[in-house]
Amino acid sequence: MSAISIGQAVVLGVVEGVTEFLPVSSTGHLKITEGLMDIPVDDKSVVAFTAVIQVGAIAAVLVYFFKDIVRFVSAWGRGLVNRQERYHHDYKFTWWVIYATIPIVVVGLAAKPLIEGPLASLWVVAGSLIVGSGVMWAADQMGRHKRGEDDTSFKDAMLVGTSQILALLFPGFSRSGATMSTGLVLDLDRVAVTRLSFFLGLPALTGAGLYELKDAVGGGVSALPLAVGTLVSFLVAYASIAWLLRFVERHSFNSFVLYRILIGALLFGLLGTGVLEA
């Protein structure tokens, strides 16, 4: 019998799709949802399942930003054969995304037992949600929001990309929250940091999903729930991306900060009263 049913896969796909790119922690919400549905959050096949359905959300980014991605890849390809093209920002930006992915890959592989063990605790998720909220609020207040996407540099990409490690080690901190907060401190505007967060997440999340695929299927999750969860994640994430980009054009991140604090406090309450097990 599959460790995750089709119904549960649909629910988890919706949660993943809504939260993957919002700065509210998809990992945290998935772990809370799994706990409420009595799915063991530390089961290797379950951990792998959540990583695999992220590929659905990543596919939504590929479709939504298809023209941008084609532009970046084309510029990169031209730059490989034409020296003059290497001065183009799109060529350099593509390399920056590749370089900025290396730190999270190294840490992810080295700390895998820790990430899937003690750091998978819901107590860690609850604390990270609240601490991450403070970081996001401070970054939004400190940032001058004066630099656009074309003003990004190698330093920006490396710092923002490396900040993904925070979310990797502390589920609940939020990969989007970490990257957006770092970008805001670097004075990038909200739309620029949001788009940068999308692009930097592509290689890391895709790689993680493909790497974990064997553990998801081989560890007890049937192929059908996995496929359903991934498809639902794709559809919901596409709508979530469109909404988020419109939202950050006109609003600060304060709504997300407040929401994270409320969810973190609720989770502490559920854990403290025994409704959920860590």
* pLDDT at residue number 220: 60
Please state, rounded to an integer, the average pLDDT across all residues of the chain. 88
99: tokens are 């370089």
In 172-231, the DSSP E strands lie at none
Per-residue model confidence as pLDDT tens digits over 212-264: 666 655 556 678 888 999 999 999 999 999 999 999 999 899 999 999 999 99
Helices marked H in 219-253 — which ranges? Answer: 223-250
Query: Cα separations (Å) of 12 from 108, 115, 138, 248?
Result: 23, 20, 31, 25
User: pLDDT tens across 179-225, in order?
Assistant: 999 999 999 999 999 999 999 888 887 777 777 666 655 556 678 88
Mean pLDDT score, 38-57? 80
* Distance in angstroms (rounded) separating the CA atoms of residues 28 and 121: 10
**DSSP-based helix, strand, coil % in the chain, nearest 5:** 80, 0, 20
Task: Supply the pTM of this predicted model.
Answer: 0.85
Which residue, 235, 233, 137, 151, is CA-closest to 193? Answer: 151
Domain ranges of the chain: 6-272
**What is the residue type of 68?**
D
Least confident of 40-49, 108-117, 183-192, 237-246: 40-49
What are the CA-CA distances from residue 272 to residues 34, 122, 241, 243, 258 (Å)? 17, 11, 34, 35, 21
Q: CB–CB of 52/199 below 8 Å?
A: no
Q: pLDDT tens, 125-151?
A: 899 999 999 999 999 999 888 898 889
